Chain A
Amino acid sequence: MLRDIEKNGIVKWEDVQASRGCPGEGRAKKGPVAVIECLQEIPCNPCETGCRFGAITVGDPITNLPVLDEEKCTGCGTCVAVCPGLAIFIEDESKDGPEAMVSVPYEYMPVPERGAEVRATDRSGQVICDAKVVNVRKPKGFNKTAVVTLAVPREYVHVARGIAIQ
């Protein structure tokens, strides 16, 4: 049986939740955590080698799907930048108030600046809500992939995955 993603390329949240790269319900309420949306066994492991906390395991063979250890994950966002597939995001629901934070990898120009008002998109590219850029990180080690943190209404924490290109 073909999964929908193999036909249309759209990642389904239920499939992410069923994978071992997804933190458990409630983890993001305690603090930022990686959500790995890697659902196909491809030969790739920079997420594992790039994580200095040992929170992601691919192991042998290198085509294994990544497994997240949500206790070890600090939500630092290094994996977001090093994943060649741009398939890792950070969710953070720990702050009080109506907003949650979602960090996304971003490789388009210009990179939005901190404080910018942008439009967040879902996994199919549809604009879902307005969002505020609360942080932008692009240190040299990220090798030209910026990690942009968006503040979005809480209900979109598992939905917001991109920024409409300006």
Chain B
Amino acid sequence: MRETDIAVIGAGPAGLAAALACGESGATTLLVDFMDAPGGQLIKQTHKFFGSERQFAGTRGIQIPDIIMDQLSKMPNVALMWGTNASGYYADSGVLTLEDGARFIKAKAKRVIIATGAAEKPLAFENNDLPGVYGAGAVQTLMNVHGVKPGDRVLMVGSGNIGLIVSYQLIQAHVEVVALVEAAGRIGGYLVHAAKLRRAGVPILTSHTVVRALGEETVRAAVVAEVDQSWQVKPGSEREVACDVICLAVGLTPLVDMMWQAGCEMKYVPALGGHVPVRDENMRASNPAVYVAGDAGGVEEASSAMISGEIAGISAARSLGFEVKEADARLAQLKADLAAIRSGPTGEKICAGIKCATVCGGEW
């Protein structure tokens, strides 16, 4: 059986940042991801990041994995396993089961940092199983990873940052975005992203939803309609919009299966996207061997995922007695950065969710 001080599950922004902190401490670290290359969602994020320089502001998401991997690959104490699924965690023994398509591998870890990210939520409407109805993540993967045009005319559903950004990237790929509909009365994501779309001529229809998809073999149109404040379709407001793709960007839910397996205390927090582990301020779950980082602990932005990953990495290494240089000052800075990112009106919901998911008093 393979042994390691710390295993990091998931090599997205949170997992990469966590592994880097663990690696710096000298702890033997195993970083696992089911994809064939590191980066998670970063590999399709062609836009420039927000935040401050410490969170790579101004750098495009796709450029970040190389920057971190450059450091990680020089660390002899960090092992990397791509194309490897973490399929189970046995809390009584700290054993992880991994499979890489050919082999079934057991790894014993003293600490596990779970940075598994989040999955897209679907939306229920008539004919939503027609080919041409996509999740925004799939559209982004097709376009930005594989260079495949998902269609010619897209109706985007959802005005969070993902819906806004993927719409912009579709236009960059010379795909027409016929409209963006949002059931709420206001745009959910950053207004600068929305303004960018508007300048490209995309109508943004708040208080509108998709009612059904039309088409026999594939999508040929969508029926959209206005909704009232209680989310009911206003009679007579239905109209047909010609499109061959209906792209759903209606939110994410944390991927927390391993945390359930680890027996972590879980809580349903809608503001964070669903069930999340209760954690302390250092990202430790109720199971003292388990830490959570990034969207797996609550859906936010990649910049906050990198910060929570670093916090989890430093804390897990320290809990095993590894020296982390200026750990207290770094943790204080990271927590201040997180608080700053979450400040202001756009962070109110997240702050309320985090408060709800954090153990009383901030410490176990």
Interface set of A (CB-CB < 8 Å, partner B): 2, 5-11, 37-46, 49-50, 60-63, 82-87, 107-109, 121-126, 143-145, 161-162, 165
Contact = CB atoms under 8 A, between A and B. Distances in A.
| Interface size of B as a range | 35 or more
Contact of A125 (B53, B191, B200, B343): B200
A43 B206 CA distance: 24
Contact of B347 (A43, A60, A144): A43
Contacts of B60: 143-144
Given A2-B186, A5-B195, A85-B193, A43 B58 contact: no
Contact of B341 (A40, A43, A161): A43
Contacts of A40: 190-192, 345-346
Interface of B: 47-53, 57-60, 171-172, 174, 185-187, 190-202, 204, 206, 303, 340-347
A128 B193 CA distance: 22
Interface of B, helix, strand, loop or mixed by DSSP:
mixed
Contacts of B53: 46, 49
A68 B131 CA distance: 49
B171 A108 contact: yes
A145 B185 contact: no
A79 B191 CA distance: 18
A68 to B, nearest CB: 16
Contacts of B48: 46, 82, 84, 143, 145
Contacts of B202: 125
A43 B196 contact: no
Nearest to B199: A162
A43 B340 contact: yes
B201 A126 contact: yes
Nearest to B203: A8
A97 B196 CA distance: 30
A9 B52 contact: no
Contacts of B193: 85
B172, B199, B200, B341 — which one has the most chain A CB atoms within 10 A of its CB? B199
Nearest to B193: A85
A61 B172 contact: no
B340 A60 contact: yes
B58 A6 contact: no
Nearest to A63: B344
B164 to A, nearest CB: 8
Given A6-B191, A9-B204, A143-B59, 10 more contacts: A2-B185, A7-B187, A9-B194, A44-B51, A50-B58, A62-B341, A63-B344, A84-B48, A84-B192, A123-B198
B171, B174, B191 — which one has the most chain A CB atoms within 10 A of its CB? B191
A166 to B, nearest CB: 10
B200 A162 contact: yes
Given A40-B346, A42-B190, A60-B340, A87 B195 contact: yes
Contacts of B174: 109, 165
Nearest to B194: A9
A83, A86, A109, A162 — which one has the most chain B CB atoms within 10 A of its CB? A86
B155 to A, nearest CB: 16
Contacts of A2: 185-186
Nearest to A122: B199
A115 B343 CA distance: 45
A156 to B, nearest CB: 14
Contacts of A46: 48, 53, 57-58
B196 A85 contact: yes
8 contacts: A5-B187, A9-B195, A40-B191, A43-B341, A44-B50, A82-B48, A108-B171, A165-B171
B280 to A, nearest CB: 23
A125 B201 contact: yes
A46 B53 CA distance: 7
Nearest to B304: A43
